Amino acid sequence: MNLLLGLRRHRSGPMLGAGLLVLSLLLSACGSAPAPASPSAAPAPTPAPAGPTSFRIAIGVDLDSTDPAGQTTTTVSNLLDYAVETLVKLDKDGNLKPGLADTWQVAGDGLSITFKLHSGVKFQDGTAMDANAVKFSFDRLLNPDVKSPQRSTFNSIKSVDAVDPATVRLNLKEPAPYLLAGLTATTSAVISPASVTAGGNTMTNYTTPVGTGPYSFKEYVKGSKVTLEKFKDYWGAKPYYDSVVFSIVPEAGTRETLLQAGQVDMIILPNTPDIPALQKNPAVKVLLASSNRTIFVALNTRDAALQDPRVRQALNYAVNKEDIIKNVLFGAAEPMQGPMAPSLFGYCQTNAYPYDPDKAKSLLQQAGATNLSLKFMSPTGRYVQDFQAAQAIAGYLDKVGVKAQVSTSDWPSYVGAITAPPDKNATQMHVLGWAPSFLDAQQAMVQFQTDNNPPKGLATSFYSNAQVDSTLAQAAKEVNPDKRKQLYCDAEKQVWSDAPWIFLWVQSFPIVYSAKVTGVSFLPNEKFDAIYAKPQ
Amino acid sequence: MRRYIAQRMAAALVTLIGVSLLIFMLVRLLPGDPARVIAGLLADEREVERIRVQMGLNRPLPQQYALFFTHFIRGDLGTSARTGQPVLKELLARMPYSLELAAVSTLLAVVVGVAAGVLAATRRNTPLDYLISLGTLIGISMPVYWLGLLLIILFAVKLHWLPAAGADQPASLILPALTLAAFSVALITRMTRASLFDVLGQDYIRTARAKGVAQRVVVYRHGLRNAMVPIVTVIGLQLGGLVGGAVLTETVFGWPGLGQLLVNSIFSRDFPMVQGLVLTAAGMIILINLGVDLFYAYVDPRIHFS
Amino acid sequence: MHMLTRASTSAETPGGDESWAAATWRRFRRRRPAVAGLALIALFLVMALAAPLLSHYSPVDQDLSQALRSPSVHHLFGTDNLGRDLATRLLYGARLSLLMGVLAVAIGLAVGLPLGAISGYYGGVVDLLVQRLTDILLSFPVLLLALALVATLGVGLQNAIIAVGISTIPVFIRIVRGSVLVIREQTYVEAARSIGNSDWRIIWRHVLSNALAPIIVQASLSIGSTILVAAGLGFLGLGVQPPTPEWGAMLGEGKQYIFAAANLVTFPGLAIFLAVLAFNLLGDGLQDALDPRLRNL
């Protein structure tokens, strides 16, 4: 049958013509993919709405836990900050400011901290916030049955006393000078004791958080969106919008289109290459928030090829960080000038490792390390342009004679590989990012403590320096802030010159919002601060 | 016939058990420590260990499987290691979205596909046939991600006709359904065209035509009905592939379906979730295939379990 | 009339004036789309093999100062984020995509054919087992299967090929088994068996050679779909590792540039699309050309 019809003459013209037409349509659609710079047909300005107002934000991750105590992700904590509050808060520069506590006092021996609570504060379920509620929240946080991966910050707390309805005292096992900074973490937020047994919540399964914040948790559609409603009896300054809606949109490109289409008012983490165009776009504003996340290449100091500090220093000199930041990260980072982000307490600026390939080559020669060949691992999509930056870095290393073999894998395999115990650990160089859960050097320097080497912890460069260890141990208990700072500074300088890492950059946290909105700010721990946003 | 049904159902059960065993092993072979991944980088060893115990990972493997399977039979799919919520609850929360998307795109694909296939088969070697053929070829060759983003740019950003992402409005379904349907339409059109064309060439069709039966009756009553078997096969295969295959579409459009949940669960080593999802997906596929098999038996009584 | 036509084209008969292969080729030639597909594949082959001759650029050396250039006289398709010439990377990428497609299908054939043949011919418990195995493999979403395999075996070209290859096995088992089931009952097989031919010989000579047509067609179509799946793996960063260029990986890395530099998405996507299209055209053409009803058994 096919043969029969196959004998007929084909008229190929129409087919080719149709083909060309379709292909050209496709190509023209691709070619004219709009650069966000061109203000596309903006939706007609909507008249001031008579009904309830809503601020819409698009984020990229779904909620893993709605329990403040169970937080592991900054973005989810950020969302919960609309509903729950902590005793102490952060300001834009990383300094502590009053939260639910008006004032606090650290005892002379450092073994207790006493907080005076703000009066007249209500929870969203109508009950009063008092010392008992605070005690309850902390007791719950320390309860081993409650899932709290970031509990370790608070392990120094021995007990909590509700001295009187407006006074709470934390009793510590040992002096913990970093604890006040730690109390800014959403993990330690105060929740309503009554809520733990109401609205479908249980002690260990806390699905609808009830706190003291300006918005209350209204609705959560898994994988789709979270709706928060204004809390009329909020004790602080009232925000403008009646509700806040978080849309969960995993694709950066899609988030951008949502903003451009006017479907949301603010997004975080756009496609990095679009940042320059977005900055030029008059319809949106770009905020490159400084953060506390350092990105570096951890070097396995136990590996024969990397044992000599001169080799590691050479690697630092070999990489042109500024260039990579400009061309690969599109300006969304600041070069590291110390082993941690500047916003941390105890940060101390050391000399930079400027781009100097000649110095790198000579150091390598001195160390007798010519023809190095190293395995270089990087995650994909975990950090801003991580994979791309790794390739760029490998390119620079190649220019000084170091062959770096770049590879990637999925995140869990990656973590498994880099935290393998010393006898099984085959890593040589790997990209990693570290964002301390609170802004204190103690959290950053754990990366250089011997007792934090895998498999116990995540100091994946296996760095071990007894002097540094003892300095850090001292600093962890030093109550005097100036002395503490000095101790950390000493440790940092030592680490910097030992170069267990290729110190790369401090990642910025890009926030993009509609130009029709104002009052969007940030906190230096990768959080946006849009509670007091309002229309222009 | 009854024997056939019983045999097919037994086969389906065996397959399901096989899948459960396979996914159980496969997911535990994946490198990386699930407890560490779920706890996050900032958690200390104590908390990681706690999560490990909670997930039951410290028990011997056979015991883990036994627990998993016995719970599964009772309808308990376990608890998500990541969120601490019951897997079943998470599944049911997202299932309507996946079903909606699958149903609408399949419906679209079947209606358009069969119609286009009929058109092409009855007008073989005309320009229309060539256009349709070209269209189907494009459909089965197009990277989904590309198509999805192109549609968003065109209809949401440039024209402002449709929402770009999310699942809020009824109109949000259109673009994702179109994207997902593209491949299916193409496949179904091709199958309909080929199958119908085969059938139309048969002798009994010629006989009907010779007897003067109207073209439309010939095509639809005699032709299409007999061509349905392979068409239904393809539809069944398509529906099955939709759960996992919808991942990219769901990602691009922020559609809260099961496909995305699956990939996220693999990448966060949420064993209970992966197991629950794959079993559910496999279960649906097996069920659909069972339906197709039974349909065969109904349509052609000569078919028997061989 | 249909019968007459068939009988009169003695060219189709094996041993007739024209060999079966030549007849197939003649039928194939007549279908423009099929020839177009073949031509396209030939084009890709040339691109893959002659890449170093066609472009003086290196596919891997980076030059940040040339990053993200638009298409121009110097760079036909522009440059990528590390300053590498996109057209060159596409040329070299053809090697990998074709290799992965062909090898993956080869694995599918190598495992699927014997299993399908044995399963169909012997029936019984063996058949049951193979059937269930096939059902299980088919019930797994393909991407998940490939993902799990790659995550278990590790990333890289070799394991990506294995992973994708395994996912093609069920299809070939099914096809061969189906053909075998039909052929098994034919009289000439009974005859062969009765005169003492060993089972293997029967399977090989009669069974497989008659299943050849659908196998060839499916192989071609499968190459197309494995190129897509392999590109999907590359898209997720789980396939070939950089700096080796691979179309899927290029698409995956390029997707964040979709607004800033659309060429990074358009051209790799187009390459994947055209390659898959080509194999599908070929498969279609082969299907028509190899139409079994036109051959005497």
* Same domain, yes or no: B195 and B60: no
* Same domain, yes or no: B129 and B213: yes
The residue ranking higher by pLDDT, B228 or A409, is A409
**What DSSP state is assigned to residue A380?**
S
* Same domain, yes or no: B265 and B152: yes
State mean pLDDT over A415-439.
91
User: Are A41 and B166 an interchain contact pair (Cβ–Cβ within 8 Å)?
Assistant: no
User: Are B145 and C231 an interchain contact pair (Cβ–Cβ within 8 Å)?
Assistant: no
Nearest to C281 by CA among C44, C51, C119, C106: C44
* Same domain, yes or no: B100 and B164: yes
The pLDDT score that the predictor gives to residue A102 is 96
User: Are C81 and A273 an interchain contact pair (Cβ–Cβ within 8 Å)?
Assistant: yes
Q: What is the SS3 assignment for A433? A: strand
Least confident window among A485-499, B247-261, C66-80: B247-261
Of the pLDDT bands very low, low, confident and very high (cuts 50, 70, 90), residue B303 is low
Distance separating alpha carbons of residues A417 and A300, to the nearest angstrom:
12
Residue B304 lies in a domain: no
Listed by number, the residues of chain A in 195-234 with a beta carbon closer than 8 Å to a beta carbon of chain B are 204-205, 207, 221-225
Domain span holding position B59: 2-73
Q: What is the CA radius of gyration of chain B?
A: 23
A6: closest chain C residue by CA? C30
Chain A adjacent subunits, 3+ CB pairs under 8 A: B, C
For chain C, what percent of residues have pLDDT higher than 70? 78
The pLDDT score that the predictor gives to residue A209 is 95
Residue where the block lists tokens 């299409």: B224
B18: closest chain C residue by CA? C136
User: Are A458 and B41 an interchain contact pair (Cβ–Cβ within 8 Å)?
Assistant: yes
**Site from A21, A77, A147 to mutate, B interface, most B CB atoms within 10 angstroms:** A147
Least confident window among A88-102, A106-120, B85-99: B85-99
User: Quick one: tokens of A122?
Assistant: 């209500």
User: Quick one: tokens of C175?
Assistant: 């096809």
Mean predicted lDDT score pLDDT of chain B = 80
Of the pLDDT bands very low, low, confident and very high (cuts 50, 70, 90), residue C2 is very low
The pLDDT score that the predictor gives to residue A82 is 97
Pairing of strands A284-299, A501-514: antiparallel
* Same domain, yes or no: B140 and B255: yes
Distance separating alpha carbons of residues A299 and A500, to the nearest angstrom:
6
The pLDDT score that the predictor gives to residue A157 is 95
The pLDDT score that the predictor gives to residue B306 is 42
- Is the predicted pLDDT of residue A214 greater than 90, yes or no? yes
* Same domain, yes or no: B188 and B231: yes
C3: closest chain B residue by CA? B203
* Same domain, yes or no: B37 and B136: no
* Distance in Å, alpha carbon of B124 to nearest chain C alpha carbon: 13
**Site from B137, B191, B250, B269 to mutate, C interface, most C CB atoms within 10 angstroms:** B137
The residue ranking higher by pLDDT, B145 or B36, is B36
State mean pLDDT over C57-70.
83
Helix runs in A401-465, H state only = 411-418, 441-445
The residue ranking higher by pLDDT, A292 or C193, is A292
Nearest to C177 by CA among B306, A357, A87: B306
The pLDDT score that the predictor gives to residue A509 is 95
For chain A, what percent of residues have pLDDT higher than 70? 91
* Distance in Å, alpha carbon of A32 to nearest chain C alpha carbon: 8
Question: What crossing angle do the helices spanning C263-289 and C209-235 adopt, rounded to 10°?
Answer: 170
Q: Is C106 on the interface with B (CB under 8 A)?
A: no
Residue B80 lies in a domain: no
- Is the predicted pLDDT of residue A254 greater than 50, yes or no? yes
3-state secondary structure A132-175: HHHHHHHHHHHCCCCCCCCHHHHCCEEEEEEEECCEEEEEECCC
The pLDDT score that the predictor gives to residue B274 is 85
User: C255 with C269: CB under 8 angstroms?
Assistant: no
Q: Is C130 on the interface with B (CB under 8 A)?
A: no
Phi and psi at residue A86, to the nearest 5°: -110, 170
Residue B17 lies in a domain: yes
* Distance in Å, alpha carbon of C294 to nearest chain A alpha carbon: 8
Which of B73, B103, B132 is the last residue before a domain boundary? B73
The pLDDT score that the predictor gives to residue A123 is 96
- Is the predicted pLDDT of residue C164 greater than 90, yes or no? no
The pLDDT score that the predictor gives to residue A59 is 95
User: A313 with A499: CB under 8 angstroms?
Assistant: yes
* Distance in Å, alpha carbon of B169 to nearest chain A alpha carbon: 12
Of the pLDDT bands very low, low, confident and very high (cuts 50, 70, 90), residue A371 is confident
Residue B181 lies in a domain: yes
User: Are B30 and A413 an interchain contact pair (Cβ–Cβ within 8 Å)?
Assistant: yes
- Is the predicted pLDDT of residue A6 greater than 70, yes or no? no
Distance separating alpha carbons of residues A67 and B84, to the nearest angstrom:
10
* Same domain, yes or no: B151 and B285: yes
Tell me the CATH number at B284.
1.10.3720.10
The pLDDT score that the predictor gives to residue C4 is 32
Q: Is B11 on the interface with C (CB under 8 A)?
A: yes
* Distance in Å, alpha carbon of B228 to nearest chain A alpha carbon: 20
The pLDDT score that the predictor gives to residue C23 is 75
Residue B83 lies in a domain: no
Q: Is the ipTM of this complex over 0.95?
A: no
User: C226 with C105: CB under 8 angstroms?
Assistant: yes
Residue B60 lies in a domain: yes
Closest in C142, C228, C277 to B137, CB measured = C277
Of the pLDDT bands very low, low, confident and very high (cuts 50, 70, 90), residue C8 is very low
Distance separating alpha carbons of residues B33 and A44, to the nearest angstrom:
52
Q: What is the SS3 assignment for A116? A: strand
User: A481 with A496: CB under 8 angstroms?
Assistant: no
Residue B214 lies in a domain: yes
* Distance in Å, alpha carbon of B15 to nearest chain C alpha carbon: 6
Which residues in chain C are closer than 8 Å to A31, comparing Cβ atoms?
Answer: 262, 266
The pLDDT score that the predictor gives to residue B301 is 60
3-state secondary structure A14-57: HHHHHHHHHHHHHHHHHHCCCCCCCCCCCCCCCCCCCCCCEEEE
* Distance in Å, alpha carbon of B30 to nearest chain C alpha carbon: 5
Q: Is the dihedral of CA C70, C75, C76, C77 positive or negative?
A: negative
User: Quick one: tokens of B266?
Assistant: 């693999």
- Is the predicted pLDDT of residue A173 greater than 90, yes or no? yes
Least confident window among A17-21, A369-373, C142-146: A17-21
The residue ranking higher by pLDDT, A196 or B159, is A196
Question: What crossing angle do the helices spanning C20-30 and C32-54 adopt, rounded to 10°?
Answer: 90
* Same domain, yes or no: B104 and B57: no
Phi and psi at residue B155, to the nearest 5°: -90, -25
The pLDDT score that the predictor gives to residue A430 is 96
The pLDDT score that the predictor gives to residue A380 is 83
Of the pLDDT bands very low, low, confident and very high (cuts 50, 70, 90), residue C198 is low
C256: closest chain A residue by CA? A271
Domain count, chain B: 2
Nearest to C145 by CA among B2, B30, A271, B305: B30
Burial-class residue B60 by CB neighbours within 10 Å (0-12, 13-18, 19+): exposed
User: Are A328 and C155 an interchain contact pair (Cβ–Cβ within 8 Å)?
Assistant: no
User: C108 with C169: CB under 8 angstroms?
Assistant: yes
- Is the predicted pLDDT of residue C83 greater than 60, yes or no? yes
User: Are B47 and A456 an interchain contact pair (Cβ–Cβ within 8 Å)?
Assistant: no
* Same domain, yes or no: B61 and B152: no
Question: What crossing angle do the helices spanning B174-200 and B144-151 adopt, rounded to 10°?
Answer: 120
State mean pLDDT over C157-167.
84
State mean pLDDT over B202-216.
75
pTM of the model: 0.81
State mean pLDDT over B177-196.
82
Q: Is B143 on the interface with C (CB under 8 A)?
A: yes
Phi and psi at residue A283, to the nearest 5°: -80, -15
* Same domain, yes or no: B36 and B118: no
The pLDDT score that the predictor gives to residue C199 is 65
* Same domain, yes or no: B59 and B100: no
Of the pLDDT bands very low, low, confident and very high (cuts 50, 70, 90), residue C151 is low
State mean pLDDT over C289-294.
60
The pLDDT score that the predictor gives to residue A138 is 96
Distance separating alpha carbons of residues C62 and A406, to the nearest angstrom:
14
